[in-house]
Structure 1
Amino acid sequence: MYSFQATQNSKTTPAATPRAFQRVTVNLQGRLMLASQDEYVCSVVDMSPGDARLACAGRPRTHERIIAYIDHLGRLEGTVLKLTDDGFVMSLVATERKREKLAAQLTWIANKHELGLPEDRRHDRLTPRQTLTELTLDDGRRYPCRLMDLSLSGAAVDIDFRPAIGTAVRLGSMRGRIIRHFLEGVAIEFTTLQSREALTEFL
């Protein structure tokens, strides 16, 4: 089973040495904004809690600030370290707590097949801009959560509370049920297929 191990002192600061961690190969879709405010579709090719290699049609300058919204991971921010043939490598600006969370998320992504977590989403994932929302139970209890990814048929949310599988919930105004627990939170299947218009509050 994959697990991140620091190759040097793992005590991080917001400007930690990017190569303090080894990268893991991933295939995560998203979009990013350059300093010019131009937006591009992108994909993360490999990544560690300290840096990431992205494939993207946009060609930033070295040291340029990048803001990216990546499926499963949410917002990432950093600066360009170097350009590659199909994109660039960026360092990630994050607190120690954020890096620990990224390490946990990347470990889950790297191990999902070994852990038996199927890729069962039937519709394309959308990258939410608005990630902070609430999960509401039938009895009215509300729990703050963060959208990790979203599709017309369901969502994955980062949340400390774990409702039982099968529990009816409401995510914003969308009704659904809990279908899976994973390291960072829960997966929700919506009761009815949503339209893109219904998801506009998050996109």
Structure 2
Amino acid sequence: MFSNLAHTYAPKPVDVAEPPVSVGLPGRLMLPNEEEYDCTATEMTAGSARLTCFARPSRNDRIIIYLQHIGRVEGKVTQLTPDGFCIAIAATERKREKLAAQLAWIAKRQSLGLPEDRRHDRLTPRHPNASLLLNDGNTVSCRIIDLSLSGAAIEIENRPAIGTTVRLGTMGGRIVRHFMEGVAIEFDSIQSRDALIEFL
């Protein structure tokens, strides 16, 4: 699930005036010793995140996290809290702008009282790298952000058009939505949990 642990970006100074967004996003993280833990991001800005987790890292430890809706986030621990810790996010300017847009969308959805509009619980796969078969027979690499019995959100470089039929593993579906870093797939039928095992 995790790779390139040695690679890092120099974090930009965090704008302390930037108000945090309450997110409640589930995810999974890895510590420097490669131990993995489930976690939840409770508050985020484009430069920081507060996480609840059983993991107890040390200050300045570098953490890699995969969060539902957000994807991969890297950062250094700035402080421990009673139920987890906070990190300063390390990212390129492009990634930081993308994260800010994602958080703005989450905040807007909350302010309007919009529901998640998802029929099944989403799961974060342990093995996110996958291949997507397009309707023209071409196969492209992708990364699964989250997965459910009815659909998936994937990160992909070139987003197929909405309505394109695709196959993710053994699961057929179609592209129903574009978002900042990829697409959402709705499966042709509700999948069995066994169908998701290869990704989980």
TM-score where L is the length of structure 1:
0.78
The separation in 2 between residues aligned to 1:139 and 1:50, in whole angstroms, is: 40
User: Of 28, 32, 50, which residue of structure 2 is paired with 1:31?
Assistant: 28
Matched residue, 1:76: 73
Aligned partner letter, 1:31: R
The separation in 2 between residues aligned to 1:111 and 1:182, in whole angstroms, is: 15
Secondary structure class of the residue paired with 1:63? coil
The separation in 2 between residues aligned to 1:162 and 1:108, in whole angstroms, is: 22
Q: How many residues align?
A: 190
Aligned partner letter, 1:161: R
| Structure 1, 61-70 or 184-193: larger mean CA deviation | 184-193
Q: Is the 8 A contact 1:74 1:131 kept in 2?
A: no
Matched residue, 1:52: 49
TM-score where L is the length of structure 2:
0.79
- The alignment status of 1:15 with 2:11, answered yes or no, reads yes
Cα 1:175–1:116 change in 2 (3 A) is farther
Q: Please state how far the C-alpha of 1:43 moved relative to its aligned partner.
A: 0.6
The separation in 2 between residues aligned to 1:126 and 1:86, in whole angstroms, is: 22
- The alignment status of 1:66 with 2:54, answered yes or no, reads no
Q: Please state how far the C-alpha of 1:136 moved relative to its aligned partner.
A: 3.0
User: Of 157, 162, 165, which residue of structure 2 is paired with 1:164?
Assistant: 162
| Structure 1, 172-181 or 135-144: larger mean CA deviation | 135-144
> Any unmatched runs of 5+ in structure 1?
1-12
> Any unmatched runs of 5+ in structure 2?
1-8
Q: After superposition, give the CA deviation of every residue in 1:46-89 in whole Å (9 maximum; x if it has no partner).
A: 11121100111222211122122211122222211001122111
Matched residue, 1:88: 85
Q: After superposition, give the CA deviation of every residue in 1:1-24 in whole Å (9 maximum; x if it has no partner).
A: xxxxxxxxxxxx622113367222
Matched residue, 1:40: 37
Q: After superposition, give the CA deviation of every residue in 1:147-173 in whole Å (9 maximum; x if it has no partner).
A: 2211122111234424234x4221233
Q: Is the 8 A contact 1:69 1:75 kept in 2?
A: yes
The separation in 2 between residues aligned to 1:37 and 1:88, in whole angstroms, is: 17
Cα 1:130–1:108 change in 2 (3 A) is farther
The separation in 2 between residues aligned to 1:97 and 1:201, in whole angstroms, is: 32
- The alignment status of 1:119 with 2:153, answered yes or no, reads no
- The alignment status of 1:176 with 2:173, answered yes or no, reads yes
Aligned partner letter, 1:163: A
Q: Please state how far the C-alpha of 1:197 moved relative to its aligned partner.
A: 3.9
